[in-house]
């Protein structure tokens, strides 16, 4: 393993390392749905810890550095076996949290509109039926994980609700993520204790539907990330 004390390794690492993306809102702006302390810890400690761990895991593998986190996870099955589980966990943690912050906003329109609303009605019957299915999937999921609304590019961008364990990413199962909610207790236990249902139900109030609709449009237009 190369020492990170050499200028070459240090330079290479600095050029390719993942960094914590800033939030588009302040730590107190999602309160009371997400209280300030929870958001601060979740972003500056939990998300940062996944980034630091992933950078450290990839440090001896320069050929796997410098990719977008999305491309890295899509290539997970080709990642060297020695680091595949770590990339799955820490890389998934980086991608899931980055995605989560993007689809939240304190200035939200509360309801989906346009093509996205139409697709939700087509695939779930109604927007409310979609919300019920999403909450039920999140509640039913045992242990830590994430619940997602995804589009399936292999099936004409049909919308689906999936829950995945730990820090698994929808990128590794060939889906494009439109919306996600964190089911780990660190996401909600200060405010909601163990009441995951209350968290899932309150959380809709900070969903940034405009960003979700934009992701849907970009994926259908052929973009691989949004
Ligand atoms: Mn989390």
Band (pLDDT 50/70/90 cuts) for residue 207 is very high
Ligand 1: distance of its center to the CA of 182 in Å?
6
**Residue 3 scores a pLDDT above 50:** no
Residue 167 alpha carbon to ligand 1 centre in Å? 9
Closest CA to 204 of 212, 214, 195: 212
Answer yes or no: is pLDDT of 150 > 50.
Answer: yes
Residue 2 has pLDDT above 50, yes or no: no
CA 93 to centroid of ligand 1, rounded, Å: 7
Helices 48-58 & 92-102 angle (0-180, nearest 10): 140
Confidence at 65, pLDDT banded by 50, 70, 90: very high
**What is the structure's pLDDT at 16?**
67
| Predicted local confidence at residue 225, as pLDDT | 80
Q: Are 21 and 94 in contact (CB under 8 A)?
A: no
How many whole angstroms from 82 Cα to the centroid of ligand 1? Answer: 25
Ligand 1 centroid to 187 CA: how many Å? 5
Cα–ligand 1 centroid distance for 97 (angstroms)? 6
Answer yes or no: is pLDDT of 56 > 90.
yes
107 contacts 77 by C-beta, under 8 angstroms = no
15 pLDDT higher than 90: no
Share of the chain above pLDDT 70, in %: 93
> Distance between CA 162 and CA 140 in Å, rounded?
11
Q: 218: CA distance to ligand 1 center in Å?
A: 25
Q: How far is the CA of 221 from the centre of ligand 1 (A)?
A: 30
């Amino acid at each position: 393993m190369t020492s990170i004390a050499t200028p070459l390794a240090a330079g290479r690492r600095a050029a390719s390392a993942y960094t914590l993306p800033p939030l588009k809102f302040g730590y107190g702006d999602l309160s009371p749905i997400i209280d300030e302390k929870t958001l601060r810890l979740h972003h500056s400690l939990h998300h940062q810890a996944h980034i630091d761990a992933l950078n450290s895991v990839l440090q001896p593998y320069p050929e796997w550095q410098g990719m977008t986190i999305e491309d890295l996870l899509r290539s997970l099955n080709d990642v060297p076996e020695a680091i595949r589980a770590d990339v799955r966990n820490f890389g998934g943690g980086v991608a899931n949290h980055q995605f989560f912050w993007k689809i939240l906003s304190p200035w939200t329109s509360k309801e989906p509109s346009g093509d996205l609303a139409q697709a939700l009605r087509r695939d779930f019957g109604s927007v409310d039926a979609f919300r019920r299915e999403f909450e039920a999937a999140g509640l039913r999921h045992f242990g830590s994980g994430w619940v997602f609304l995804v589009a399936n590019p292999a099936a004409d961008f049909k919308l689906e609700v999936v829950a995945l364990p730990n820090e698994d990413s929808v990128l590794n199962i060939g889906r494009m993520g439109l919306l996600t909610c964190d089911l780990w207790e660190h996401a909600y236990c200060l405010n909601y204790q163990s009441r995951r249902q209350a968290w899932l139900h309150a959380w809709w109030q900070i969903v940034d539907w405009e960003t979700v609709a934009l992701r849907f449009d970009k994926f259908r237009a052929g973009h691989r990330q949004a």
